[in-house]
Structure 1
Amino acid sequence: MSQEDQPPAAQTRRGSITALANGIRVLQTLSHYPTLRGVTELAAETGLHKSTVSRILSTLEEHQLVERDGTTRRYRLGVGTVAIAGPLLAHLDVRRAGGEIIREITATTQESTALVTWTGVDGVVVDHVDSPRLVKHITPVGTRIGRLRAASMQVFLAECTAGHRQRLYSTNGLSDPQDVEAGLDEVAQRGYGLNDGRTDPEEWSVAAPIRDYDGRCIAAVLIAVPRSRMTDAARADLPARAVEAARQITQRLGG
C-alpha cells in the first residue's frame, strides 16, 4: 500500500512521527554548539529544508525548548530543556549512575568494588560490592577514607590545588608529604591512583576519577584485591577496567 492509499489517520501518524524526529534532530544539533545558530546553518547541519527548520524552531520556541536572540535572531537551547532533564539529573547521582557498573565489574572479575565520593577532606564509600570469594577486601558503605596514600585519595589529591593539599597534609599530621606529592603528577597523567601495599601490606587497589558535568572530580571507582591474589594479568587489566567504568559513570552524570 502506497502512502497515498493509506487511511488519513495512518498518514497523520506518519507525519507526526516525522515531525517529532525532525524536531529532535534540530535540538540535538543545537546541543553540539555553544554558539548561536541561524536557520540557514541549522538547515545545512540537519539536512532539512529551511522552511521546515523555521517551523520547527517556532514550535520549540513556544515551549521554551529554544531561545531566539533578540539582536541576531539566531537560536540556542532554551530553559525548557533543563525543566525536562531536571528530574533525571536529580536522580543521576554517583550511586545511581554507577551502581550497576561496579556490579558488572565484580561479576566479571570476582573482586570487590566501590564508589567513593570526595568531600574535600576525605572520601566516603557510598556503594560497595563484595567479592564472592572467601578472602576479600570489604569497605562498607559509610566508610571514610582519609589515608592519603589510599588509591582513591591519590585521585582526589591530584585534582586539588597545592594550597588545598598542604592544608590536608597539615590536618593529617604529615610533616614530610614528599612521597605523596611525588606520585600525583603520574596519577593525573595515567588517569588512576594505585595503592600497592602502601596503606596495608595485604591490599592492592586502583581508583579512577568520576567527573561531573563541569569536569570536576567528585568521586572515584575503586577496585580492591588482596595482594596475595594479584597476578601480572590482573595488574594490567584492573586499572583499565576502573578507568573505563569511571568514564561511563562520568558520561551518565553529563560529563
Structure 2
Amino acid sequence: MQQQWTALPSEYGIRKESNRVRTLICCSQCRHAIMIDKSEPSSRSGTQSLQRAAALLRALMVSNRQGASATELAAHAAIERTTAHRMLKCLVEEGLVVQDGTSRRFYLGPLAYEMGIAAAERTDLRSLGRPILSKIAEVTGDTAFFMIRSGDDSVCIDRAEGAYPVRAFVVDVGTRRPLGVGANSLSVLGALPEGEAEAVLLRNEKFISAIEGLSMDLIRKRVQKARAQGHVAMDVVGLPGVRAVAVPVKTQSGRVIAGLSISAIRARMTGAREGVLIARLHQHAQELSRALSMSS
C-alpha cells in the first residue's frame, strides 16, 4: 500500500506565525506525528520517533547479512515490539528497509544504500584508505582491515587480503560491532579520553556481556592496556589459533575516527613480528591521517 503523508488539521496544532510556519505531518503507516518547525527544534515526540527509527536502522546494520525479525530488532533497539513493528512498516514504505516475503526478516533497503553512497561522496574514507590497506596486505601477506567509529560501534568499511595461503577473515566488510569487541575497536577505545571510553562501555554493556568469553572487567583491562601501549595485540575471540594487532587512526586535530588492524594465524604472530606489524600500522595510520587532512 502506498504510504500517505498528510498535513493534520488545525485542531491538531497547526499554526502560522509571522516569521515561521509549524506543520504537523503524519505517516498513515506508523501513526506518529512529527512537527516540522523551520525556526525551532522538533517537538519531543517527533525527536523521539526519529531516534527510535535511527535505533532500528543501527540494529539492522548489525545483523543485515542474515536479517532480523521485528522482535529481535525491537529488543536490540530497546523499543516496544508493537511500536517497532509499526515503524518498520513505515521504513519499508520509504525504501530504507525491505522485508523478505518468505522468512519475514528485515534487511536494509535500497534507499539506505543510496544514502550511504551520497554520504561517502563528501569524504570517501574507503577510497582514501584503500591504497594504504592494499599496501599493508601486500607487504605483510596477511589480511588487513579498516574499521571506522560509528557512534558506540565500529564498522568494517574495507578489507584487503594478503598472499599468504592461510587467511584469517575476522570480519566481513559491512560488519558492525559494539566498541570494545575485537582488536580494532579496542584500539579506538584505548585512544579515547578515559571518561568518554567508559561512557561508551556502559552503553554497550548489555551487548558485550552477551558475548561468550567476554566480560566488562576483561574489556576494561584491555582498554587500559591499549591506552598505555598505544596499540592492541590479542587472540581473536571465537576464532582459535587466530591473532590480531591494531592501532587507532586519528585526525590531525587528534579526534579518533577509525582503526587499522592485521589478523593472521598464531604461527605467524611471533613476538618480534608483531612488533614489526604494529610499527607498520602506526606508520600507515599517520599516512591516512595526513590524507584525511588534505581531503577535508
TM interval, shorter chain, is 0.5 to 0.7
Corresponding letter in the other structure for 1:103: S
| CA deviations over 1:197-238 (Å, ceiling 9, x no partner) | 444222211111112344221111111111133233312211
- Say yes or no: does 1:163 pair with 2:199: yes
Residue of structure 1 equivalent to 2:182: 150
Tell me the number of residue pairs that the alignment of Structure 1 and Structure 2 aligns: 167
Structural mapping, 1:125-136, within 5 Å:
125-136=156-167
Tell me which residue corresponds to 2:226. 187
CA RMSD of aligned residues (A): 2.5
Distance 1:240 1:137 in 2: 20
Question: 1:92 touches 1:252 (CA, 8 Å); kept in 2?
Answer: no
Specify the code of the residue in structure 1 equivalent to 2:257.
I
* Aligned-partner Cα distance in 1 for 2:181–2:164: 26
Q: Is the 8 A contact 2:179 2:201 kept in 1?
A: no
Gaps of 5+ in 1: 1-88
**What displacement does 1:142 show?**
1.1
TM-score normalized with structure 2 length: 0.51
Q: Give the deviation of 1:93 after TM superposition.
A: 3.3
Assess, with a 3 A threshold, how the Cα gap between structure 1 residues 122 and 204 changes in structure 2: closer, same or farther: same
Task: Write out per-residue CA displacement over residues 12-58 of structure 1, whole angstroms, 9 at most, x where no aligned residue.
Answer: xxxxxxxxxxxxxxxxxxxxxxxxxxxxxxxxxxxxxxxxxxxxxxx
Looking at secondary structure, tell me which structure has more strand per residue.
2
Residue 257 of structure 2 is matched in structure 1 by: 218
1:113 to 138, 141, 144: 144
Identical aligned residues as a percent: 23
| CA–CA distance in structure 1, aligned partners of residues 197 and 144 of structure 2 | 28
Which residue, 241, 245, 252 being the options, matches 1:206? 245
Is the alpha carbon distance of 1:170 and 1:243 closer, same or farther for their aligned partners in structure 2, counting shifts above 3 Å?
A: same
Query: d(CA) in 2 for partners of 1:214 and 1:223?
Result: 25
| Contiguous gaps of at least 5 residues in structure 2 | 1-119
SS at match of 2:209: coil
Structure label with greater radius of gyration: 1
